[in-house]
Structure 1
């Protein structure tokens, strides 16, 4: 949009397969406390990987549109709904969440043309509204684009947007039901009218306007591919992305193909126009965060109107991450981790792009250089991540020398605004206690201290909240940072419920941020929230990522389990009250850790998780993840993947006094990134292998959301109901009390 060594050599992992049933979903009695739908197991589906036979009895669940799969969804949701409806405090929980969610908030202003734009939400609006204001300090904001008017249930969201250089045109991508597919529309800013064309077959578009304000570059997939029906429910692999030039006011079939890599169908492509408008930058990757960058001069093509393919030149010959900052004619500034795991800022002359000619503007430091934003022509703001906290500095652009350091409260800079020729810079600082303060720095003033531009005030009094950062040791002795949130009146006797959340993958860092649901857990469930920054993330640069991916993926599960052990040993909670949660790669994290250490947890909620580590690369954009996990086609990677794949390591604990925690698997029918078949197959095996045991008294359920995707764009009404169900599950399963 991941050690178990119990595998028997040369035997099917799903041993003792049952014969196919005549009726797939007869509810049958089992010896445990719950009656699970009987899910057909197909004994005939067995794959061979490098000499090892692996059964896949639920292969039929990979078809989302079959009648049998639809019946599976209905039966599972009915069982889960029955359980959740009997949870106490649901009415009180919904009322409290709705009350606390209902406060006005706004995003950071961005100047485009002569106007300022920002997103805002009055409180309970399903989607944030795009607003416009004539002046940053005066004039009433008015609605520019309200996605809430585009559907009756709030399931249409704005996924991306971009203004032309002069601010007169606005392109925006709409998603339905949380799908990664978008349709791009173009709006005339002055008249407010849309142009007639709609651009389709697009995922995650980078809309890059040429500076003549005539058109833009974007990437799309072939329209004739039957696997891409753009419903958000497809599972077929998505390949052959290409870059086109679109001239505003013309039909999409008139767009000009300008860049393609015919021999590399799995490349992801994105574009960016240089600040001066003279160059096109193309970033490509098959492995996320390991990019190859190309560039081309646009001067001649702008004169001819882009009638043919653009001839690209390579920037780098070694894969690395690159982030364009700005340029002075042919001198380009990039942040990269090439030969610098914590990142550095380099200057590259595109007339001599070979690495030996690059010069370092800001050398690598102990902290991770996250971003650099040029401002006021010859200056730039930079930000480092230091032990999961944001810093802010003002520097000279050309030589990187430090001018000012800004003291910040412990938090994360979640967004910034300001272009190189602007004289004002905005940034938003989020903390666990505050939903966000937007600061403004004005270069027309002598005083360059940040001034509060807007402060969001929630309905939650955070004065009793304690935010503690600790460093605990993982299994191999590695120190891992963790934030712990709790009330001042917490008694550390192990009786409090605790919510442990992490991600640990794709070099993605967990940033400090405000969460209404976290604070409800702390205040109204009298609980503890813990967020460790485990390996696999980007909190400490590429080395931290490398230590948690590919053959090192087990470190993620060890880090997560060690965080649980720390909370238990220090009496923040106890195993019977400890909850773990994670989404996407974090869903994999939760499920794998439960398989390995079920005795540590009272409840677990893996959301939209990657559960079948042998086949993930076969669906939609799963092949991009091979750089994170490896792929089963490679024997070395297969031997590693099979040790932790959640689907293939579900076994009754050897200790007969241990059962699996109460589990609520979560997925959505329009998730076309981590397709729901992962969760379908996983919960089926979970109920079959664990749920049939008389010692398993905890429930093993799945919640399948309709008209929702991988998470982005979920309307407020669905978000609140999702938390009501999830917290209600904890309350019932772990006997937690709700406090007003």
Structure 2
């Protein structure tokens, strides 16, 4: 094809000398907020029009739009939340832009609609985010997310009448929501941002407040803050018996916490230190009286369960369940049992033990997949959990905690047979000899044919986050079309505990890129991927991954889709939540870290003169997690450089953010654009219906 003529992008003359090196930043002006800067808004409009015109020409687009829509058109539920005798849950009948929230009076009661977010905005981009019923189920605290932003607005609903109270809380972000009796709740918020800085200002001075129902926000009481350390983050939880508020503090994205306990029965809510030092993870499981249970990686990189007794002058710690070979992801107390959720090679296992950690009983799960939930309360006879895999949408089960028997609460009805697909877990060797797991999903007939097919490889590799099997309509559409889907469990993630995470961050970040490149080479060597048929995709930190490996090995990939990526590694810490990410990436203003960041930053390492794969960058105008300036600058750089004749485009969503809260209509449109672009450049031919 002939070389594209992209919309013109002004190149500025901004340059800085950092540690003796002159760093040009000709597109610095594209960091400005699209809502505030007319030049940026004009650039976005021209790029969007150019990209839309191209995507409309792709012959596979209508097929993928129809297939993704069909795969999303099924009834799906969230895990039920029990409060008093009421059960709360969300339900999407199929193609609603946003799930609705229902309540039942008793498990077998008739569903009653409480909240319908679909009426909040014409474009469906205002979403119900978090929600928590009060202990007795009298009230429901819920948060609203608009246009995909991380900011939340809190409201309270009277469950009996269905009316929303006048209480309204603003400037909430990255917050827990915890009821104190039926009279009020704890939440975390930041100071109101400066004028014009709502979506870009760095987040400091997070504070825990108590809000009493029926009062104004400016009357809320400060419960916990650290003015001498504005960089600290604080989130509050309350034990089910209402005795303790537990404030967990962090510094960045690392699971290194301090924990303080507040006796809610005392007149003076004085925080009491439980864990100090920001050295290990401490995740609250539950509390009964003076006893608290935590999952921690202190002296246990794969985590263990401990009990803390607050009945004495100083907290007393004791081990309940020691570290196992598998990773202990989470735990819950239901009835008089502990439910432990383990991860083995990125797939789930569940074990029930007594509160003393003894008499373990393993639950049988339905093959390779991810189990979640298992929450409940001391004394409860039941818990709910979900199970999902690449070929199975989430089914919700109710488990009798005494017998361990499960029965379906909600199972989706699909227009495909899960048994038509082969889900494999394979292991391959990375550059330095490390054994890395990878899931591969294909139609069984495609796998049986032995034919190499266009393949979509996905990765993340960061922030101690594990990628586990789960259902995705867009990915299954790719597989149904005859392609293969591969998910690589790269270092930097949480699949194997602390050591696995450490091996893929800071000075070890190149290991993540090597793991991903090795995954692509393995897929080709094993005959899974066709010669020129490897497409790659990743979002956020995964967008950084895609940008970095595209620069390092442009010959390996046919198409690349970096989504909402961190593309300028020298300035990521200057916007919104970016300052937290130094735990994984390092500090751009420290020379040793700067050298590493400079070596792989996607924006700064575009290799002009080489043939690059086709690239579709995606971002959104309201992304205040990874601000869109990252993607704007990177897209301008790859369009300016001589990178061959394949298209290098940017897709910019409006009224959307980093991903959460996106309405179904936008999900379908975005999926169709991405999949048809990948299909066009990997050679995937969609079925002729």
> Which structure 2 residues correspond to residues 383-462 of structure 1 after superposition, within 5 A?
383-397=341-355, 399-409=356-366, 410-443=368-401, 447-462=403-418
Name the CA distance, whole Å, in 2 between partners of 1:38 and 1:675. 22
Q: Does 1:497 align with 2:454?
A: yes
Deviation of 1:420 after TM superposition, in Å, equals 1.8
Residues 252 and 405 (structure 1), Cα distance of their counterparts in 2 relative to 1, 3 Å cut = same
Q: Does 1:536 align with 2:492?
A: yes
Listed one character per residue, the Cα deviations across residues 386-415 of structure 1 (whole Å, up to 9, x for unaligned) are 111111111011x21133111212211133
Listed one character per residue, the Cα deviations across residues 605-637 of structure 1 (whole Å, up to 9, x for unaligned) are 000000000100000010110001001111111
The number of equivalent residue pairs is 683
Deviation of 1:228 after TM superposition, in Å, equals 4.7
> Which structure 2 residues correspond to residues 214-233 of structure 1 after superposition, within 5 A?
214-223=183-192, 225-226=194-195, 228-229=197-198
Name the CA distance, whole Å, in 1 between partners of 2:79 and 2:239. 23
Name the CA distance, whole Å, in 1 between partners of 2:74 and 2:271. 51
Listed one character per residue, the Cα deviations across residues 255-276 of structure 1 (whole Å, up to 9, x for unaligned) are 1122211111121110011232
Q: Does 1:636 align with 2:592?
A: yes
Deviation of 1:543 after TM superposition, in Å, equals 0.8
Q: Does 1:662 align with 2:623?
A: no
Q: Does 1:167 align with 2:137?
A: yes
Q: Give the structure 1 partner of residue 258 of structure 2.
A: 292
Listed one character per residue, the Cα deviations across residues 679-712 of structure 1 (whole Å, up to 9, x for unaligned) are 0000111111234xxxx01100000000000000
> Which structure 2 residues correspond to residues 262-277 of structure 1 after superposition, within 5 A?
262-277=227-242
Listed as ranges, the gaps of 5+ residues in structure 2 are none
Deviation of 1:338 after TM superposition, in Å, equals 1.4
Name the CA distance, whole Å, in 1 between partners of 2:308 and 2:134. 27
Residues 439 and 353 (structure 1), Cα distance of their counterparts in 2 relative to 1, 3 Å cut = farther
Q: Is the 8 A contact 1:475 1:562 kept in 2?
A: yes
Name the CA distance, whole Å, in 1 between partners of 2:646 and 2:561. 13
Deviation of 1:567 after TM superposition, in Å, equals 0.3
Q: Is the 8 A contact 1:217 1:244 kept in 2?
A: yes
Aligned counterpart in structure 1 of residue 5 of structure 2, from 24, 30, 35? 35
Q: Give the structure 2 partner of residue 473 of structure 1.
A: 429
Q: Give the structure 1 partner of residue 200 of structure 2.
A: 235
Name the CA distance, whole Å, in 2 between partners of 1:635 and 1:429. 46
Residues 468 and 335 (structure 1), Cα distance of their counterparts in 2 relative to 1, 3 Å cut = same
Q: Does 1:380 align with 2:328?
A: no
Residues 351 and 54 (structure 1), Cα distance of their counterparts in 2 relative to 1, 3 Å cut = farther
Name the CA distance, whole Å, in 2 between partners of 1:547 and 1:354. 36
Deviation of 1:139 after TM superposition, in Å, equals 3.0
**Which one has a larger percent strand, Structure 1 or Structure 2?**
2
> Which structure 2 residues correspond to residues 690-705 of structure 1 after superposition, within 5 A?
690-691=642-643, 696-705=644-653
Aligned counterpart in structure 2 of residue 364 of structure 1, from 301, 315, 323? 323
Aligned counterpart in structure 1 of residue 30 of structure 2, from 46, 51, 61? 61
Q: Give the structure 1 partner of residue 42 of structure 2.
A: 71
Aligned counterpart in structure 2 of residue 733 of structure 1, from 642, 667, 681? 681
Deviation of 1:32 after TM superposition, in Å, equals 5.7
What secondary structure does 1:497 align onto? strand
Listed one character per residue, the Cα deviations across residues 43-89 of structure 1 (whole Å, up to 9, x for unaligned) are 1x112222222111111111122111011101111111111111113
Name the CA distance, whole Å, in 2 between partners of 1:215 and 1:225. 29
Q: Give the structure 2 partner of residue 513 of structure 1.
A: 470
The runs of at least 4 consecutive aligned structure 1 residues that moved more than 4 Å come to 351-355, 491-495
Residues 489 and 122 (structure 1), Cα distance of their counterparts in 2 relative to 1, 3 Å cut = same
Name the CA distance, whole Å, in 1 between partners of 2:144 and 2:531. 43
Name the CA distance, whole Å, in 1 between partners of 2:384 and 2:271. 37
Residues 544 and 468 (structure 1), Cα distance of their counterparts in 2 relative to 1, 3 Å cut = same
Aligned counterpart in structure 2 of residue 283 of structure 1, from 228, 240, 248? 248
Q: Is the 8 A contact 1:499 1:527 kept in 2?
A: yes
Farther-moved stretch of structure 1 (473-482 vs 513-522): 513-522
Deviation of 1:351 after TM superposition, in Å, equals 5.0
How large is the RMSD of aligned CA atoms in angstroms?
A: 1.8
Name the CA distance, whole Å, in 2 between partners of 1:635 and 1:353. 45
Name the CA distance, whole Å, in 1 between partners of 2:313 and 2:533. 57
> Which structure 2 residues correspond to residues 243-322 of structure 1 after superposition, within 5 A?
243-288=208-253, 289-301=255-267, 310-322=270-282
Q: Is the 8 A contact 1:315 1:353 kept in 2?
A: no
Q: Does 1:156 align with 2:120?
A: no
Q: TM-score, normalised by structure 1?
A: 0.90
Q: Give the structure 2 partner of residue 689 of structure 1.
A: 641
Deviation of 1:90 after TM superposition, in Å, equals 2.4
Q: Does 1:180 align with 2:150?
A: yes
What secondary structure does 1:295 align onto? strand
Q: Is the 8 A contact 2:375 2:383 kept in 1?
A: yes
Q: Does 1:52 align with 2:21?
A: yes
Deviation of 1:352 after TM superposition, in Å, equals 5.7
What secondary structure does 1:471 align onto? strand
Aligned counterpart in structure 2 of residue 206 of structure 1, from 164, 176, 190? 176
Deviation of 1:112 after TM superposition, in Å, equals 1.3
Name the CA distance, whole Å, in 2 between partners of 1:354 and 1:735. 65
Q: Give the structure 2 partner of residue 483 of structure 1.
A: 439
Listed one character per residue, the Cα deviations across residues 95-142 of structure 1 (whole Å, up to 9, x for unaligned) are 232223211122222211211111111110000111111221x23212
Deviation of 1:244 after TM superposition, in Å, equals 1.0
Q: Give the structure 2 partner of residue 123 of structure 1.
A: 94
Q: Does 1:552 align with 2:511?
A: no
Residues 382 and 249 (structure 1), Cα distance of their counterparts in 2 relative to 1, 3 Å cut = same
Q: TM-score, normalised by structure 2?
A: 0.96
Aligned counterpart in structure 2 of residue 95 of structure 1, from 60, 66, 69? 66
What secondary structure does 2:68 align onto? helix
Q: Is the 8 A contact 1:160 1:204 kept in 2?
A: no
Deviation of 1:443 after TM superposition, in Å, equals 4.2
Aligned counterpart in structure 1 of residue 105 of structure 2, from 117, 134, 138? 134
Deviation of 1:436 after TM superposition, in Å, equals 2.2
What secondary structure does 1:503 align onto? coil
Residues 648 and 353 (structure 1), Cα distance of their counterparts in 2 relative to 1, 3 Å cut = farther
What secondary structure does 1:554 align onto? helix
What secondary structure does 1:588 align onto? helix
Q: Give the structure 2 partner of residue 583 of structure 1.
A: 539
Deviation of 1:472 after TM superposition, in Å, equals 0.4
